Amino acid sequence: MDTIHIRGGSALFGETRIQGSKNAVLPVMAAALLIRDVSTLENCPQISDVRHMLALLESIGCRVRHKGHTLTIDARNISEDTMSGENVTGMRSSITLLGAMLGRVGEVTMAYPGGCVIGERPIDMHLDALRRMGVAVYEKEGCFTARARCLEGTVISLPFSSVGVTENVLLAAVMARGVTVLQNAAREPEIVTLCEFLREAGAVIEGIGGPVLIIQGGHELHGICFRIPADRIVAGTYLMSVLGAGGNIFLEDAPVSQMRAVLRTAQEIGAQIHISREGLNVIAGGYRAPVPCLKTEVYPGFPTDMQSPLMAVLACVPGTSMIEETIFENRFRIVDQLRRMGACIELRGTKQAVITGVDSLLGAQVTAQELRGGAALVIAGCMAPGETVITNRHFIERGYEDICRDYQNLGANIRIG
Ligand code: UD1
C-alpha cells in the first residue's frame, strides 16, 4: 500500500536507537571501489538508498554482502565502466561514483543522476572540478562519459562548499598523481567520515574538518573494517517530533557533537536538552517560542535537511516564525501538505516561508514528495489529533530504516499500510 497511518495528538515517551548515517555511508561505499581488497562497513542503515548503491556496485563487478547492519564490499575485480538505469537516475548520491570510478578505472559512463537534467539540479560543479584534474567529459543523449588518461593533482577552489563535489574531488584526488589542494571544501560531518575512512585505508589527507583539504595522491589503499556513525538528521527528526507533540524521549547514540545548530534552535523554541555519553534526552511541553528568522546554511549552520521537520513543529508554535532556505530551491513542497492539515504558512517567493502558529493541526490524507518532507509529515501526523495517512512511504524509506518501529518505541500510534 505504500502508506503510513498515524493516530496523533498524544505526547511521545520512550527511547529509540539512532541508525547509521545515510549521507555518511553512501560516499564511503563509493570509496570502497578505490580499494583492491575487501572493505567491511559496520552500522550500515538498512535503507533503500543503500540497496540501490549496492546494486550499482554489483553491476560493475563488485561482490557485495549485506548481513544485518554489516556490509562487505569486495572490489578486487571491476568489470564494467558503464552505469545506467534506475539505480543511477533514482539516486542523487550515485554521482559520487563518478570520482570513484575515475580514480579506479579512469573512465565512466553514467546517466545523469537523481532523475534531473542539467539545469534543474545541476552537476556542473562536479564536472568543472574534475576537468581541472585532467578529466574530459563527453555528453550524449542523457548520458555522459568522463575519462582521464591520468588524474593530476592541482589546486581547486570551489565556488560553493558543495558536499557532493567535495566528496568527488576527494575520491579522485587520492588516486591522482601529485598533491590536490581543495579550497572552500564542504565541512559537513559526512566529509570528515569519508576522510577518516580513506585515511585509515592508507590515503594521506590533511586539513580534515576544515575548509582546505590537502590530498597527497597515489598511495596504495588497503581493506579495512570501519564503523558508520549515527545519523544526525534522523536524530534531529525525532527530536523535532517531541518538540511538536510534547513528551520526554531518549535518543540513544544521537551524534550530539554534530547537532549543535539544531539543538540550539530546539532550545530556543523551548526544549530541555540533556546530553550524556549514551545519547540525547529531550523534554518538551508547556511554553514554546517562535523562531523569528532561521536560515538554512552549510555546516555548522542549520541543515537544509532539517528545514521541513522544523516547519512542521513551527506550524503549532504560537506567534510568527520565518524560515529562509538558502541551499536548495524547491524545498517548500511540504507547505501544501501541511496546509491540508490546517497549518497557516505563507510563501514569499521561493526562498522564504512565514509560519503563523495555529492551536492544532488535524489529521488528514497527505502525500510524501521527497525524503525529508515525508519525514516532516510523520512529525505533523504525531502532532495532529485524528488519523493522518501519508502516501508514498517509499520516499521516507530512502533514508529511515524503519520509521514506524522507531516511533512505536517513542510511544506513537503508527503503522504501515
Ligand atoms: C548532500 C546531501 C543532502 C544535503 C546536501 C546539503 C547526500 C547524499 N546528500 O547533497 O542530503 O541536503 O548535501 O547539505 O549526502 N549544486 C550545483 N551544481 C553542482 C552541485 C551542486 O549547482 O554541480 C547546487 C545544488 O543544486 C544545491 C547546492 O549546490 O543547490 C548544494 O548541493 P550539494 O552541497 O552538492 O548537495 P548534495 O551533495 O547534492
Neighbouring residues of 119: CB distance < 8 A, sequence distance ≥ 6: none
- Does the beta carbon of 253 lie inside 6 Å of ligand 1? no
Number of residues written out for the chain: 417
- Does the beta carbon of 300 lie inside 6 Å of ligand 1? no
User: Cα(162)–Cα(73) distance, rounded to whole angstroms?
Assistant: 27
Helix 260-269, helix 232-245: angle, nearest 10: 0
Instruction: Let me know if 401 is exposed, middle or buried by CB neighbors in 10 A (0-12, 13-18, 19+).
Output: buried
Residue 362 has pLDDT above 50, yes or no: yes
User: In degrees rounded to 5, what are phi and psi of residue 118?
Assistant: -55, 140
162 CA: nearest ligand 1 atom: 34
Lowest mean per-residue pLDDT among 107-111, 277-281, 386-390 = 107-111
- Does the beta carbon of 121 lie inside 6 Å of ligand 1? yes
- Single-letter code of the amino acid located at 128: D
Strand partners for 173 = none
Residue 373 has pLDDT above 70, yes or no: yes
Q: Model's pTM, two decimal places?
A: 0.96
Residue 87 has pLDDT above 60, yes or no: no
Residue 377 has pLDDT above 70, yes or no: yes
Domains in the chain, ordered, with CATH? 3-19+231-416 (3.65.10.10), 22-217 (3.65.10.10)
Nearest CA to ligand 1 atom 11: 305
Task: State pLDDT tens for residues 27-63.
Answer: 999 999 999 999 999 999 999 999 999 998 998 899 9
Q: Which residues are identified as catalytic?
A: 116
Is the peptide bond between 122 and the residue preceding it cis, with omega within 30 degrees of 0?
no
Task: State pLDDT tens for residues 324-349.
Answer: 999 988 789 999 999 999 999 999 99
Task: State pLDDT tens for residues 290-314.
Answer: 999 999 999 999 999 999 999 999 9
- Structure confidence at residue 92 (pLDDT): 67
Matching residue, cell 516532516 = 376
Looking from the CA of 341 toward its CB, the CA atoms found within 13 Å total 37
- Does the beta carbon of 120 lie inside 6 Å of ligand 1? no
- Single-letter code of the amino acid located at 264: R
Determine the distance separating the centroid of ligand 1 and the alpha carbon of 90, expressed in angstroms. Answer: 15
- Does the beta carbon of 305 lie inside 6 Å of ligand 1? yes
Residue 91 has pLDDT above 80, yes or no: no
CA quadruple 147, 152, 156, 158: dihedral, nearest 10: 20
161 CA: nearest ligand 1 atom: 34
**Cα 411–chain centre separation:** 26
